[in-house]
Amino acid sequence: MDPGRRSPLPGPSPSDRSRTTAERGLWAWREEPLLHRGTTSLDSAPLRDAFTPRPRSALVTDEPRIIRKKTGNFLEDFRPGQVFRHKGGKTITEGLFTTFTDFSMATNPLCKNARYAEAYGYAGLVCPPGLVMLVAFSQTVEDISENARANLEYIDMRFGTPVYVGDTLEVETKVLGVRPSSSRPNLGIVHVQSTARKEVGSESESVVMTWQRKVQVYKDDESVEVEGFQVDPDPVPCEPWIPAHSAGTDYKALAHLSSPDSYFEDLEPGTVIEHSRGRTVTDEHIHLTGILDNTSQVHCNRFMIGLNPSRYVGGELIVFGGIPFVLCLGLSGPDVADNALGDVVYTTGRHTAPLQAGDTVFAATEILAKRDCPGRPDLGHVDTRLLGHKFVADEGAQHPDAPAGWKKVRIFELERTLAVKRRDHYA
């Protein structure tokens, strides 16, 4: 059996069948025998008995045989060092590129203006890092987090080769660890390392990004004892490709196309920049999640959540975390990233509160440090902390950082290092 696919699961016990649908999940087991994904024979006793010939009078001939599938993996399915080569892959189309650069309010001219991007040495419009992350991350969902309660942390997210319209991304994931919850016997934390590549199988194959994440995943059978484990991540070389500064290019003639106050010289440590714009998220998030091929049901299956609201965060659909992620990147862009030539690394990031349809995302950026970029006197590295928040009604309350009757709630934070142009070389 392919180590990247989960093993057949046993059928239900009589006590399982007596539980309500809400207790047993959306697709509760029925009395008739089912074939689980991965079953290739009738070697198990329940299945063998189910298909043993019986007298004609005992057979039901007017009902079809039912095969009810389960998708995704549960906590007990993950193994140390297990590698998933995720199915599908995804080609970046013009429609996908336009939808997400416009939705996320991205402003860097590298993803908006082909003349600008080509003058800087790129092959065409450059996919912003948030879009690359969304496409790569979504490919991992079915195998890693379709049965998750929440995504907990992003770790060491690094970017490599630029991605353009027409590129196809394929992703694989290594399981690094599992830790059962000591307080919630139906949950545990899964730690994985994922790597996205383009032009897979060709001489030009290259890494476009690599990252680790931790996700809170449900058990399929709460009674199963799961042993924790931890293994080391693989070394994955991944450095951003940034075109060399060209003495023959008139960069100053292009300077009006980006923000005039977001160069390396402008970003001073100890500064907190409160970005002026916000973005309300509506039910459009379901469509956006779908076109990324993200199959997690907590983002799109309202019926499932309605059957057992207490099982799910907030008791309603949760907006896919990648959406506030890219919105925060986009909202911060004019003030911090308009003159960046690359995102180098996201050291760590996490969602600190859920986002639901109707919420409005705002962002701020704290400048932590800055330093020279090795071998690139035209650039500097800037370390930042990107902070996302929303406001929730709090009748009668007075908070210093919110309008009367409202409370500011942190929803996202990300430690982010950018390679930013120096004004004296480009403007």
* Cα separation, 412 vs 383, whole angstroms: 17
pLDDT tens sequence across 216-271: 999 999 999 999 999 999 999 999 999 999 999 999 999 999 999 999 999 999 99
Note the CATH number of domain 71-92+127-241.
3.10.129.10
pLDDT tens sequence across 292-301: 999 888 888 8
Question: With 90 as the cut, is the pLDDT of residue 158 above it?
Answer: yes
pLDDT tens sequence across 383-397: 999 999 999 999 888
Q: Give CA 363 to chain center in angstroms.
A: 19
Could you give the residue ranges of the DSSP H alpha helices within 198-319?
A: 284-291, 302-307
Question: With 50 as the cut, is the pLDDT of residue 58 above it?
Answer: yes
**In this structure, are strands 206-218 and 376-393 parallel, antiparallel, or unpaired?**
unpaired
* Cα separation, 43 vs 35, whole angstroms: 12
* Cα separation, 62 vs 73, whole angstroms: 34
Q: How far is CA 221 from CA 11, 296, 353, in A?
A: 11, 19, 28
**Three-class SS of residue 203?**
coil
> What are the backbone dihedrals phi and psi of residue 116, each rounded to the nearest 5 degrees, phi first?
-65, -50
Q: How confident is the model at residue 316 (pLDDT cuts 50, 70, 90)?
A: confident
Least reliable range by pLDDT among 40-54, 74-88, 89-103: 40-54
**Three-class SS of residue 52?**
coil
| pLDDT of amino acid 61 | 62
* Cα separation, 389 vs 178, whole angstroms: 30
Q: How far is CA 25 from CA 74, 127, 254, 306, 312, in A?
A: 13, 39, 57, 11, 12
Shared fold status for 71-92+127-241 and 250-427: yes
Mean pLDDT of the chain: 89
Q: How confident is the model at residue 53 (pLDDT cuts 50, 70, 90)?
A: low
CB 32 within 8 A of CB 66: yes
C-alpha closest to that of 130 among 329, 331, 270: 329
> What are the backbone dihedrals phi and psi of residue 316, each rounded to the nearest 5 degrees, phi first?
-150, 175
Q: Which residues pair with 409 in a beta bridge?
A: 390
Q: How confident is the model at residue 59 (pLDDT cuts 50, 70, 90)?
A: low
| pLDDT of amino acid 397 | 85
- Per DSSP, which regions of 30-167 are E strands? 83-85, 90-91, 148-159
Could you give the residue ranges of the DSSP H alpha helices within 152-296?
A: 284-291
* Cα separation, 56 vs 109, whole angstroms: 73
Q: How confident is the model at residue 36 (pLDDT cuts 50, 70, 90)?
A: very low
C-alpha closest to that of 75 among 183, 219, 180: 219
* Cα separation, 366 vs 328, whole angstroms: 13
pLDDT tens sequence across 178-214: 999 989 999 999 999 999 999 999 999 999 999 999 9
* Cα separation, 126 vs 379, whole angstroms: 19
CATH 1.10.10.10 fits 250-427, yes or no: no
What's the rounded mean pLDDT across residues 360-375? 98
Pick the more confident residue, 215 or 297: 215
Q: How confident is the model at residue 63 (pLDDT cuts 50, 70, 90)?
A: confident
* Cα separation, 122 vs 74, whole angstroms: 42
Question: With 90 as the cut, is the pLDDT of residue 40 above it?
Answer: no
* Cα separation, 378 vs 394, whole angstroms: 48
* Cα separation, 215 vs 205, whole angstroms: 29
- Radius of gyration of the chain from its Cα atoms, rounded to whole angstroms: 25
What is the domain partition of the chain in residue ranges? 1-70, 71-92+127-241, 250-427
CB-neighbour burial class of residue 347 (10 A; exposed 0-12, middle 13-18, buried 19+) = middle
What's the rounded mean pLDDT across residues 68-86? 94
Please spell the DSSP secondary structure of 29-92, one letter per residue.
--SS--PPTT--S--SHHHHHHTS---GGG---SS--------S--GGG--TT-EEE-SS-EE-
